[in-house]
């Protein structure tokens, strides 16, 4: 179940005929909190076509970040099937999952997670160190990613020398440097002022529209969600048609 986001950024055309990049079938996930078992996702099924831009909204504890972690192979469901980019994540070993993530997933985090002692270009290069690419090709990709986010002139700067918005743009460059199949963004504007947040949202929108990247973004902010093609609402681990009062 979903609801289209109203947007002032030019309504993107609906996706028709695109193959599903993400397919979840009957996915459930629980966590133990002391003696209590807390169900976070319950019998959830979902398809996301290739090239989609989906915003996940819902109250805290509704399962949004857990769903993102399942899509990125950072966690496994208790039951059900998670298929992303043709890979059945449930069946993969930890080593295989690590290789799959390196090739297919770009993560954008709310708090950037940059390494303070490394320059912007070295932070962006980190995902490529998990690949077999040579140094020259890594440098080329890093330069291209930083250029795409408008930070070529900040390549040698360390995180402490950047603004929050610039740090997050470094985070986006790191997410796209390996040309991932899917970008997973967890509250990417949650720690930014409106102007800096809008710049990040416009960048994600351009990655979707101009470069065909599939994006799943968790957000509490309706303004951020308005940049997506569609909005999905989670409440108590299930998809609902609209926010519950």
Q: Tell me: the pLDDT tens digits for 81-104?
A: 999 999 999 989 999 998 899 889
31 lies in a domain?
no
86 lies in a domain?
no
- Give the span between the Cα atoms of 132 and 229, in whole angstroms: 35
Q: Which two tokens stand for residue 214?
A: 């599939």
Provide the number of structural domains found in the chain: 1
Q: Which two tokens stand for residue 1?
A: 């179940």
Indicate the pairing of strand 230-235 with strand 53-57: parallel
In 3D, which of 42, 57, 51, 50 has the Cα closest to residue 21? 50
184 lies in a domain?
yes
Q: Which domain holds residue 129?
A: 49-76+93-240
39 lies in a domain?
no
234 lies in a domain?
yes
143 lies in a domain?
yes
pTM (2 decimals)?
Answer: 0.87
27 lies in a domain?
no
Question: pLDDT in tens for each of the 245 residues of the chain?
Answer: 334 333 445 545 556 667 889 999 999 999 888 888 888 999 999 999 999 999 999 988 888 999 999 999 999 999 999 999 999 999 899 999 988 998 899 999 888 889 999 999 999 999 998 888 899 999 999 999 999 999 999 999 999 999 999 999 999 999 999 999 999 999 999 888 899 999 999 999 999 999 999 999 999 999 999 999 999 999 888 888 765 44
Which phi and psi angles does 144 have, rounded to 5°? -65, -40
Which phi and psi angles does 188 have, rounded to 5°? -65, -15
- Give the span between the Cα atoms of 245 and 242, in whole angstroms: 9
- Give the span between the Cα atoms of 96 and 128, in whole angstroms: 16
Ordered DSSP codes for 169-200: HHHHHHHHTT--SEEEEESTTTTS-HHHHHHH
20 lies in a domain?
no
Q: What CATH number is associated with residue 193?
A: 3.40.50.300
Q: Looking at residue 7, what is its pLDDT?
A: 41
- Give the span between the Cα atoms of 76 and 121, in whole angstroms: 32
């Amino acid at each position: 179940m979903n609801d289209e986001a109203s947007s002032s950024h030019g309504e993107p055309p609906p996706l028709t005929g695109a193959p599903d990049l993400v397919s979840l079938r009957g996915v459930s996930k629980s966590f133990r909190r002391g003696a209590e078992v807390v169900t976070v996702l319950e019998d959830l099924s979902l398809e996301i076509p290739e090239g989609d831009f989906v915003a996940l909204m819902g109250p805290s504890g509704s399962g949004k970040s857990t769903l993102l972690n399942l899509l990125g192979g950072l966690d496994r469901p208790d039951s059900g099937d998670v298929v992303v980019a043709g890979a059945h994540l449930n069946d993969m070993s930890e080593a295989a999952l690590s290789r799959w993530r390196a090739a297919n997933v770009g993560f954008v985090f709310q708090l950037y997670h940059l390494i303070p002692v490394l320059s912007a270009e070295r932070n962006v290069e980190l995902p490529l160190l998990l690949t077999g690419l040579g140094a020259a090709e890594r440098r080329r990709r890093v330069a291209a990613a930083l250029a795409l986010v408008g930070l070529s002139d900040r390549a040698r700067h360390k995180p402490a020398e950047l603004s929050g918005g610039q740090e997050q743009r470094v985070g986006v460059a790191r997410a796209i440097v390996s040309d991932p199949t899917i970008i997973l963004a967890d509250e990417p504007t949650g720690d930014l002022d409106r102007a800096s947040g809008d710049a990040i949202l416009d960048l994600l929108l351009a990655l979707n529209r101009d470069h065909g990247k599939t994006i799943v973004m968790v957000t509490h902010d309706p303004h951020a969600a308005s940049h997506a093609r569609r909005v999905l609402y989670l409440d108590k681990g299930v998809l609902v048609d609209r926010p519950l009062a």
